[in-house]
Structure 1
C-alpha cells in the first residue's frame, strides 16, 4: 500500500490455529489506506505456509526467534504510516475498528494514543472481564501500576509517541506491554472508545500471560519508570507503593520455594528501586 495512514503490526510465533483469523479480520476493515505487516518470529509450525497464501495483500517479514517485543519493534521499523496499530496473533478485530479509531483521533487532534473496549473469549467461551479490568481513560498511570489496563490489540498510537519511548523493551520476555504503557501513561493521556471492537482469546497454554513468575518483570518495569525522572512526586509515591506490594508478594513466593537469597533481594529492592533497573 502506497502512502498508508495506518500501519497494522501482527507479531506471530507458532500460531497456525489463529493467524488466519487475525489477518482476515484486518483485511476486512473498510478503512483505507492501511498496510498490514506480519512479523513471523521464527515459527516452526505451519504459520509461514498460511501466511504465504496472502501473497501481495500483506507484507510478511521473517526473522529468527527473538521474542514478541523484537517482532513488534521490527514491524514498526518497516512501517510507512504515522499511526501504528497492533494486533496479537491470537486475537482478532471486529468490523469498523480502524474507521472508529481514526475518526476518534480526527475529533481529538491533541491525543496520540487511544484504545477500544474488548470482548473476552477463554477456552472458546465468552467471559465477562471483572470490574478491576474495566478500561479507563485520561491520565491512568496510577491504576496501570496495579494492572495492565491497555491491550496491544486494542491500541492505536502515533508513531512519534512510540519512538519517543523507545518502543517495546526487548530485554523483557513478558510484560513488555505493561512496561511501555507505564512509560507512556506517566505523561500522556489515553483515549477510550467504549464500544468493544476487538476479541481477545485466551486460555491456551502458549500465552505469555500464562507464564509463572510474571511479577518479576512487572517489578523491573516499575523500577525502570521510577528511574526515568519523568514521574511527578505523587506518581513516584504511587509507583513506590505498587513496587513494595509486588516485591512483598513475590518475595513470599520465593520463600515458599526455598529461594531465600532471592526473597531478600526483592525485599531490599523496596528501599532501593535503582537496584532493579539492570535486572
Structure 2
C-alpha cells in the first residue's frame, strides 16, 4: 500500500479469541485515508472463528499465526515482521477514528526529533460513553513520574519510530499484564512521550477478557519499577520518585497478601524496598 513517497507505517494488531470485535479493529485501519501502511494481525492461538474471519481479508492484511504465548509475544512477533519505520499498535477490542494515522505521521514530519506520540481517546465501557477520571488524564512531555502510579499511555493510541524499539527493546513476554506500563516506563525516563490532543481512537472496556481486569496488577508494576531502579539509569529526581512509588505499591500489595494468608509473600515485598 506504500506509494513510495510517504513513510511506511506498520500496524501491529494482536488478537486472541476476539472474533466478536477484531473485525471492527481491522476495518478501522483499512478505512484510514493514509494508505502507506501495512496491517499485521498476529493470531495468538485463537480457537474461535478468528482464523476464518481473517482469511476473508485476503491480501489486505498480513496474518501471523502462533501458539498462544500472550500479548507481549504477539506484539513482538508483529514488530519483528514489520517493514515500516513507524510502528503503530492497535488492540483487537479498540478501533481507530478517521484520520488517526495521517495525524500522527504529520506530527512526526513537523517534529523530526520526536520518537513517540499518542492521541487522546474516547472511552466506551459496557457500550456506554464514559469520561476518564482525573488520574487517567493524559499529558505530553516527560511523564515518567506521573506514569509510575499507573499506565498513562494507551497502546492503541501510540505511534513510534522503529529505532526507539530497537533501543529500549520490545514488550516483556514474562509479564502477563502491565507489559505496556513496563515499556512506557523504559521509554519515558529518557524521552518525551508527545500527545496529540484530539480523540482519535475508541477504547472499549468492561469485557471479561481485559488484561487490566486481572488481579494483583501492582505485582507486575513493582517488578518493572524494581528493574528500572537496578539499571542505574534514572536521574536523582526520577529515582526518588520511583523508590517512593515502589514503597507505596509494596506496602499495598503486602497488605493484600496478609489478608489472604500469604504471609511469606507479604514479607518478601516488605523487605524489597530495603534494597533501595
Q: TM-score, normalization: structure 2?
A: 0.97
Q: Secondary structure at the match of 1:153?
A: helix
Q: Which residue of 1 is the match for residue 263 of structure 2?
A: 260
Q: Distance in 2 between matches of 1:7 and 1:271?
A: 43
Question: After superposition, what is the alpha-carbon deviation per residue over 1:171-228, rounded to whole angstroms, capped at 9, x for unaligned?
Answer: 1111000000000000001110000000010000011110111110010011111112
**1:232 aligned to 2:232?**
no
Match of 1:53 in 2: 56
Match of 2:232, SS state, is coil
Shift of 1:104: 0.7
Q: In the alignment, what sits opposite 2:102?
A: 99
3-state SS of 2:88 partner: strand
Say which SS state the counterpart of residue 174 (structure 2) adopts.
Answer: coil
User: For residues 88 and 118 of structure 2, what CA distance do their matches in structure 1 show?
Assistant: 10
3-state SS in 2 of match to 1:103: helix
CA distance in 2, matches of 1:261, 1:103: 53
Runs of at least 5 residues in structure 2 that lack an aligned partner in the other structure: none
Deviation at 1:32, TM superposition (A): 2.3
Equivalent residues in 2 for 1:27-38 (5 A)? 27-38=30-41
SS in 1 for 2:38: strand
- RMSD, aligned CA: 0.9
* Number of residue pairs the alignment of both structures matches: 273
Structure 2 counterpart SS, 1:61:
strand
Pairing 1:116-127 to 2, within 5 Å after superposition: 116-127=119-130
Matched residue SS, 1:227? helix
| Corresponding residue of 2:200 | 197
> Segments of 4+ in structure 1 off by > 6 A?
none
- After TM superposition, the score normalised by the length of structure 1 is 0.96
Does residue 42 of structure 1 match 2:45?
A: yes
Q: 1:19 aligns with which of 17, 22, 32?
A: 22
Q: Deviations over 1:28-66 (max 9, x none)?
A: 001121000000000001111111100110000000000
TM superposition shift of 1:155: 0.4
| Distance in 2 (alpha carbons) for counterparts of 1:183 and 1:230 | 10
Q: Which runs of 5+ in 1 are unaligned?
A: 274-279
**Which residue in the other structure is 1:150 paired with?**
153
Deviations 1:229-261 (A, max 9, x none): 210011011000000000000000000000010
Q: Do structure 1's residue 250 and structure 2's residue 253 form an aligned pair?
A: yes
Among 83, 105, 110, the alignment partner of 1:80 is 83
TM-aligned CA deviation for residue 5 of structure 1:
1.1
What SS does the corresponding residue of 2:274 show, helix, strand or coil?
coil
